[in-house]
Amino acid sequence: MRERRKRLSRLSGLTFLAGALLSAPVSAAPERVMSLNLCTDQLAMTLAEPEQLISVSFLAREPDLSMLHEKAQDFPVNRGLAEEVFLEKPDLVVTGTYSLHNTTALLKRLGFRVEEFSFVQTLDTIPGEIRRMGALLGQEARAEKLAEDFSQELDAIAKSQCDMRPTMIAYDQNGVALGSGTLADSVMQAAGFANLAADLGLVGVAPFPLEQVIAARPDVIVTSASEGAPTLGEHVPRHPAIAALPDTRIGAFVPAGAWSCGSPAVIEAVRALASLRAEIAPCPQDATQ
Amino acid sequence: MKLSISLAMLALALFILSLLVGPAALGIGDSIAGLFAGGGEAAAIIMREIRLPRALLGLAIGFSLGLSGAVLQGFLRNPLAEPGVIGVSSMAALGAVAVFYSGLAGSSLYALPAGALIGALAAVLILLAIAARQGSTLTLILAGVALSSLAGALTSLVLNLSPNPFAAYEIIFWLLGSLKDRSMEHVLLALPLMAAGWLLIALSARAIDALSLGEEAAGNLGIHMGRARFLIVAGVALSVGAATAVAGTIGFIGLVVPHLIRPLTNRMPSSLLLPAGLGGAALLLAADIAARLVLPAGELNVGVLTALIGAPFFLWLVIRARREML
Per-residue pLDDT band for B323 (boundaries 50, 70, 90) equals confident
Average pLDDT of the segment spanning A210-217: 93
Whether residue A11 has pLDDT greater than 60 = no
Q: Is residue B181 part of a domain?
A: yes
Question: First CA to last CA across chain B, in angstroms?
Answer: 36
Taking contacts as CB-CB distances below 8 angstroms, the residues of chain A near B181 are 175, 210, 236, 239
Q: What digits encode the pLDDT tens for the residues B150-188?
A: 999 999 999 999 888 788 889 999 999 999 999 999 999
Tell me what the mean pLDDT of segment B199-214 comes to: 90
HSE, CB side, 13 Å, CA atoms: give it for residue A80: 21
* Residue A114 pLDDT grade (very low, low, confident, very high; cuts 50, 70, 90): very high
- Which range has the worst mean pLDDT, A91-100, A224-233, B7-16, B140-149? A224-233
ipTM of the complex: 0.85
**Sheet containing strand A114-117, strands side by side:** A77-78, A53-57, A33-35, A92-96, A114-117
Distance from CA of B40 to the nearest CA of A (A): 6
Rounded to the nearest 10 degrees, what angle do helices B269-294 and B2-20 cross at? 20
Q: How far is A234 from chain B (nearest CA, A)?
A: 9
Say whether pLDDT at A93 is over 80: yes
Residue B11 in any domain: the answer is: no
Residue A29: what pLDDT?
Answer: 87
φ/ψ bin of B38: left (φ > 0), alpha (ψ from -120 to 50), beta (otherwise): beta
Confidence of residue B146 (pLDDT cuts 50, 70, 90): very high
Domain count, chain B: 1
Q: Is the pLDDT of residue A55 over 60?
A: yes
- The answer on pLDDT for A180 being more than 80 is yes
> Are residues A209 and B299, on separate chains, in Cβ contact within 8 Å?
yes
Whether B234 maps to a domain, the answer reads yes
Helix axes of A266-280 and A140-159: crossing angle, nearest 10 degrees: 10
Is B18 within the bounds of a domain? no
Residue B88 has what pLDDT? Answer: 95
B101–A231: do the CB atoms touch at under 8 Å? yes
Residues pairing with A203 in the sheet:
A180
Q: Kindly indicate the confidence band of residue A18, based on its pLDDT and cuts at 50, 70 and 90.
A: very low
Residue B302 placed within a domain? yes
Given an 8 Å threshold on Cβ–Cβ distance, is A207 in contact with B165? no
For chain A, give the percent of residues with pLDDT over 70. Answer: 87
State the CB neighbour count (10 A cutoff) for residue A188: 30
Q: Which pLDDT belongs to residue A210? A: 93
User: Mind listing the domains of chain A with CATH numbers?
Assistant: 29-152 (3.40.50.1980), 163-288 (3.40.50.1980)
Domain of B186 in residue numbering reads as 52-325
| Lowest pLDDT segment from A11-20, A121-130, B271-280 | A11-20
Specify the pLDDT at position A253.
93
Note the pLDDT of residue A286: 65
Put simply, the answer to whether B173 touches A245 (Cβ < 8 Å) is no
What is the spatial distance between Cα A44 and Cα A263, in angstroms, rounded to a whole number? 9
Answer yes or no: is B35 within a domain.
no
For residue A163, what is the DSSP state? Answer: S
A244 touches chain B (CB under 8 A): yes
**More confident position, A24 or A168:** A168
- Asked whether the predicted pLDDT for residue A126 surpasses 80, the reply is yes
| Burial (CB count within 10 angstroms: exposed 0-12, middle 13-18, buried 19+), residue B4 | middle
Quick one: pLDDT band at residue B141, thresholds 50, 70, 90? confident
Q: Around Cβ A162, how many Cβ atoms within 10 Å?
A: 13
pLDDT score at B79: 86
- Map residue A28 onto helix, strand or coil: coil
> Do residues A94 and A117 touch, judged by C-beta distance below 8 A?
yes
Do the domain assignments include residue B12?
no
Residue B297 pLDDT greater than 80, yes or no: no
Helix (H/G/I), strand (E/B), else coil: B134: coil
Confidence of residue A35 (pLDDT cuts 50, 70, 90): very high
Question: Structure pTM?
Answer: 0.86
Is B40 among the domain residues? no
Average pLDDT of the residues in A221-228: 79
Give how far A213 is from chain B: nearest CA, Å. 9
Residue type, A49: E
Report CB contact under 8 Å: A241, B45: yes
Residue A229 contacts B where some CB pair is shorter than 8 Å: yes
Which one of B41, B48, B49 makes the best mutation probe of the A interface by having the most chain A beta carbons within 10 Å?
B49
Distance CA B299, CA B55 (A): 16
Chain A residues near residue B167 by CB distance under 8 angstroms: 229, 231
Region B198-208 average pLDDT: 94
pLDDT at B135: 63
pLDDT, tens digit, 9 for 90 and up, residues B59-118: 999 999 999 999 999 988 888 889 998 999 999 999 999 999 988 877 788 999 999 999
Please say if the pLDDT value at position A19 is more than 50: no
| Distance from the B164 Cα atom to the nearest Cα atom in chain A, whole angstroms | 5
What value does the mean pLDDT of chain A take?
Answer: 86
Give yes or no for a contact between A74 and A49, defined as CB atoms under 8 angstroms apart: no
Provide the Cα torsion B50, B279, B88, B316; round to 10°. Answer: 130
CATH value at residue B229: 1.10.3470.10
